[in-house]
Amino acid sequence: MFMYCAPIWSVKLEAKNSIEMLNAVFNSYMKRYLGLPKYAHGAAIHYYCRTWPLYYAVRYLASEAVTKLSFPPNSLNGHQLSFANATPLPPYQPEIEMDQDFPRKSVYISRNRRFRMRCFRELFNIDHFKSCQVVKFHTRVTYDCKCIYCGQHATRSHTCTLTTMQ
Protein backbone atom coordinates (compact mmCIF):
# COMPACT_ATOMS: atom_id res chain seq x y z
CA MET A 1 0.00 0.00 0.00
CA PHE A 2 2.78 2.45 0.91
CA MET A 3 4.77 1.54 -2.18
CA TYR A 4 2.10 2.80 -4.58
CA CYS A 5 3.87 5.60 -6.53
CA ALA A 6 6.48 5.75 -3.74
CA PRO A 7 9.31 6.81 -6.09
CA ILE A 8 7.35 10.00 -6.77
CA TRP A 9 5.88 10.94 -3.37
CA SER A 10 8.64 9.73 -1.03
CA VAL A 11 11.20 12.12 -2.53
CA LYS A 12 8.96 15.09 -1.82
CA LEU A 13 8.26 14.04 1.78
CA GLU A 14 10.42 16.38 3.85
CA ALA A 15 8.23 17.63 6.70
CA LYS A 16 9.33 16.07 9.98
CA ASN A 17 5.74 15.74 11.15
CA SER A 18 4.78 13.75 8.03
CA ILE A 19 7.78 11.47 8.41
CA GLU A 20 6.93 10.84 12.08
CA MET A 21 3.32 10.04 11.16
CA LEU A 22 4.50 7.56 8.53
CA ASN A 23 6.91 5.93 10.98
CA ALA A 24 4.20 5.73 13.64
CA VAL A 25 2.25 3.24 11.51
CA PHE A 26 4.95 0.58 11.79
CA ASN A 27 6.07 1.56 15.29
CA SER A 28 2.58 1.19 16.74
CA TYR A 29 2.29 -2.27 15.19
CA MET A 30 5.67 -3.33 16.65
CA LYS A 31 4.79 -1.97 20.10
CA ARG A 32 1.50 -3.85 20.10
CA TYR A 33 3.23 -7.05 18.98
CA LEU A 34 5.86 -6.75 21.72
CA GLY A 35 3.30 -5.84 24.40
CA LEU A 36 4.74 -2.38 25.01
CA PRO A 37 2.83 0.85 25.66
CA LYS A 38 2.68 3.63 23.09
CA TYR A 39 5.31 5.71 24.92
CA ALA A 40 8.01 3.01 24.57
CA HIS A 41 11.20 4.22 22.89
CA GLY A 42 10.92 3.70 19.11
CA ALA A 43 14.64 3.61 18.33
CA ALA A 44 15.20 0.89 20.93
CA ILE A 45 12.43 -1.18 19.35
CA HIS A 46 14.14 -0.91 15.96
CA TYR A 47 17.47 -1.83 17.56
CA TYR A 48 16.20 -4.97 19.29
CA CYS A 49 13.98 -6.09 16.39
CA ARG A 50 16.65 -5.24 13.79
CA THR A 51 14.18 -3.19 11.75
CA TRP A 52 14.17 0.34 10.43
CA PRO A 53 11.50 3.03 10.34
CA LEU A 54 8.87 2.80 7.62
CA TYR A 55 10.12 6.01 5.99
CA TYR A 56 13.58 4.49 5.48
CA ALA A 57 12.09 1.30 4.08
CA VAL A 58 9.83 3.15 1.64
CA ARG A 59 12.65 5.41 0.46
CA TYR A 60 15.00 2.47 -0.02
CA LEU A 61 12.45 0.38 -1.93
CA ALA A 62 11.46 3.43 -4.00
CA SER A 63 15.08 4.05 -5.01
CA GLU A 64 15.39 0.38 -5.97
CA ALA A 65 12.24 0.67 -8.09
CA VAL A 66 13.59 3.72 -9.94
CA THR A 67 16.80 1.93 -10.91
CA LYS A 68 14.70 -0.79 -12.58
CA LEU A 69 13.04 1.70 -14.95
CA SER A 70 14.35 1.55 -18.49
CA PHE A 71 13.42 3.74 -21.43
CA PRO A 72 14.33 3.39 -25.09
CA PRO A 73 17.29 5.50 -26.16
CA ASN A 74 16.48 9.16 -26.99
CA SER A 75 12.90 8.76 -25.76
CA LEU A 76 13.17 11.51 -23.12
CA ASN A 77 14.94 14.01 -25.42
CA GLY A 78 17.48 14.94 -22.75
CA HIS A 79 14.91 15.34 -19.96
CA GLN A 80 15.37 13.66 -16.62
CA LEU A 81 12.83 12.32 -14.19
CA SER A 82 12.72 14.55 -11.11
CA PHE A 83 12.75 11.60 -8.72
CA ALA A 84 15.44 9.59 -10.50
CA ASN A 85 18.37 11.34 -8.85
CA ALA A 86 17.10 11.44 -5.27
CA THR A 87 19.80 11.67 -2.63
CA PRO A 88 20.00 8.44 -0.66
CA LEU A 89 19.31 8.49 3.05
CA PRO A 90 22.19 7.91 5.46
CA PRO A 91 22.13 4.46 7.05
CA TYR A 92 19.75 4.25 9.99
CA GLN A 93 21.56 3.75 13.29
CA PRO A 94 19.11 3.36 16.18
CA GLU A 95 21.96 3.22 18.74
CA ILE A 96 22.43 6.97 18.34
CA GLU A 97 18.83 7.77 19.31
CA MET A 98 18.59 5.22 22.14
CA ASP A 99 19.00 6.16 25.79
CA GLN A 100 22.42 5.26 27.18
CA ASP A 101 21.02 2.92 29.83
CA PHE A 102 19.49 0.49 27.32
CA PRO A 103 21.61 -2.67 27.15
CA ARG A 104 23.31 -3.11 23.78
CA LYS A 105 22.65 -6.81 23.29
CA SER A 106 20.68 -8.96 20.92
CA VAL A 107 17.33 -10.18 22.20
CA TYR A 108 15.50 -13.36 21.30
CA ILE A 109 11.99 -12.52 20.06
CA SER A 110 9.86 -15.49 20.98
CA ARG A 111 6.70 -16.54 19.20
CA ASN A 112 5.23 -17.24 22.65
CA ARG A 113 3.21 -14.11 23.42
CA ARG A 114 3.54 -14.21 27.22
CA PHE A 115 7.29 -14.79 27.16
CA ARG A 116 7.82 -12.09 24.51
CA MET A 117 5.77 -9.52 26.43
CA ARG A 118 7.47 -10.30 29.76
CA CYS A 119 10.93 -10.11 28.20
CA PHE A 120 10.34 -6.76 26.51
CA ARG A 121 8.48 -5.22 29.46
CA GLU A 122 11.50 -6.04 31.65
CA LEU A 123 13.92 -4.75 29.02
CA PHE A 124 12.04 -1.45 28.63
CA ASN A 125 11.47 -1.18 32.39
CA ILE A 126 7.73 -0.63 31.94
CA ASP A 127 6.90 -1.41 35.58
CA HIS A 128 9.39 1.19 36.84
CA PHE A 129 6.56 3.27 38.32
CA LYS A 130 5.70 0.52 40.81
CA SER A 131 8.99 0.87 42.69
CA CYS A 132 9.96 4.50 42.00
CA GLN A 133 9.64 7.25 44.62
CA VAL A 134 8.92 9.87 41.95
CA VAL A 135 5.14 10.07 41.74
CA LYS A 136 4.96 12.13 38.53
CA PHE A 137 4.67 10.06 35.33
CA HIS A 138 7.99 9.72 33.49
CA THR A 139 9.18 7.42 30.73
CA ARG A 140 12.92 7.64 31.36
CA VAL A 141 14.94 6.90 34.46
CA THR A 142 16.13 10.16 36.02
CA TYR A 143 18.56 10.99 38.83
CA ASP A 144 15.59 11.52 41.15
CA CYS A 145 14.42 7.92 40.74
CA LYS A 146 14.94 5.97 43.95
CA CYS A 147 13.62 2.55 44.91
CA ILE A 148 10.81 2.82 47.47
CA TYR A 149 11.98 -0.42 49.13
CA CYS A 150 15.77 -0.04 49.51
CA GLY A 151 16.32 3.67 48.75
CA GLN A 152 19.01 3.02 46.12
CA HIS A 153 19.06 4.71 42.71
CA ALA A 154 16.48 2.93 40.56
CA THR A 155 18.30 2.27 37.30
CA ARG A 156 16.96 0.21 34.43
CA SER A 157 18.74 -2.90 35.72
CA HIS A 158 17.97 -2.34 39.42
CA THR A 159 16.53 -5.35 41.18
CA CYS A 160 15.57 -4.98 44.80
CA THR A 161 16.49 -8.01 46.91
CA LEU A 162 14.11 -7.15 49.71
CA THR A 163 11.19 -9.52 50.11
CA THR A 164 8.76 -6.66 50.71
CA MET A 165 8.88 -5.86 47.02
CA GLN A 166 6.80 -8.92 46.27
* Co-location of 151 and 133 in the same domain: yes
- Boundary-marking domain end, from 108, 124, 140: 124
Domain count along the chain = 2
Return the HEC string of the chain. Answer: CCCCCHHHHHHHCCCHHHHHHHHHHHHHHHHHHHCCCCCCCHHHHHHHHCCCCHHHHHHHHHHHHHHCCCCCCCCCCCCCCCCCCCCCCCCCCHHHHCCCCCCCCCCCCCCCHHHHHHHHHHHCCHHHHHCECCCCCCCCCCCCCEECCCCCECCCCCCCCCHHHC
93-117 burial, b at 16+ Cβ within 10 Å, e below that, comes to: ebeeebeeebeeeeeeeeeeeeebb
- Residue 50 belongs to some domain of the structure: yes
Single-letter amino acid code for the residue at 140 = R
For residue 49, the model assigns a pLDDT of: 93
* Co-location of 118 and 134 in the same domain: no
* Co-location of 115 and 131 in the same domain: no
* Co-location of 14 and 35 in the same domain: yes
* Co-location of 80 and 151 in the same domain: no
Round to whole Å and give the CA distance between 122 and 160.
14
* Co-location of 90 and 137 in the same domain: no
* Co-location of 155 and 85 in the same domain: no
* Co-location of 139 and 94 in the same domain: no
* Co-location of 102 and 160 in the same domain: no
Structural domain for 132, as ranges:
127-166
On whether the CB atoms of residues 140 and 127 are closer than 8 A, the answer is: no
Tens digit of pLDDT for each residue in 86-116?
A: 677 788 899 998 888 888 888 899 999 999 9
119 or 166, higher pLDDT? 119
Label residue 165 by pLDDT band (50, 70, 90): very low
Round to whole Å and give the CA distance between 122 and 128.
9
Tens digit of pLDDT for each residue in 18-60?
A: 778 888 989 999 999 999 999 999 999 999 999 999 888 888 7
- Residue 1 belongs to some domain of the structure: no
* Co-location of 20 and 81 in the same domain: yes
* Co-location of 103 and 86 in the same domain: yes
Overall pTM > 0.85? no
Residue 120 has pLDDT above 60, yes or no: yes
Average pLDDT, rounded, for the chain: 81
On whether the CB atoms of residues 35 and 120 are closer than 8 A, the answer is: yes
Label residue 2 by pLDDT band (50, 70, 90): low
Single-letter amino acid code for the residue at 83 = F
Label residue 163 by pLDDT band (50, 70, 90): very low
For residue 54, the model assigns a pLDDT of: 84
